[in-house]
Amino acid sequence: MANDPGKMKAYWRKNLKTLFFLLLIWFLVSFGFGILWVEELNQIHLGGFKLGFWFAQQGSIYAFVVLIFIYVYRMNKLDKEFDVNEE
């Protein structure tokens, strides 16, 4: 891949697309659910707590950890697709 600039551009384009998508989800979960839509989400209870409070305190952290695993999976798949994997 190092010799093919077109392939490198395509790799980085897909990488940035994945990164942007995951950061958008993280923003929606942490800022959107924890701050913007907290009043609407507080109408729902989860384990005795209001859902908006739960997202502000715990949900965004859980979502971030899940997004890390999704990113690792996606990048491993992308690396194999463009033959830049570590194996």
Start-to-end Cα distance in the chain = 15
* pLDDT category of residue 2 using cuts at 50, 70 and 90: low
Give the domain ranges of the chain.
5-81
pLDDT one-digit tens code per residue, 25-84: 999 998 999 899 999 999 999 888 899 888 888 888 999 999 999 999 999 999 999 988
Return the ∠ at Cα 26 (arms to 25 and 27), rounded to 5°.
90
The DSSP element (H or E) to which 5 belongs, if any, is: helix 5-27
Q: Cα 79 to chain center, whole Å?
A: 18
Alpha carbon distance 47, 68 (integer Å) = 25
| Long-range CB contacts (within 8 A, 24+) of 50-58 | 55/29, 55/30
Is the predicted pLDDT of residue 21 greater than 80, yes or no? yes
Does this model's pTM top 0.75? My answer is: yes
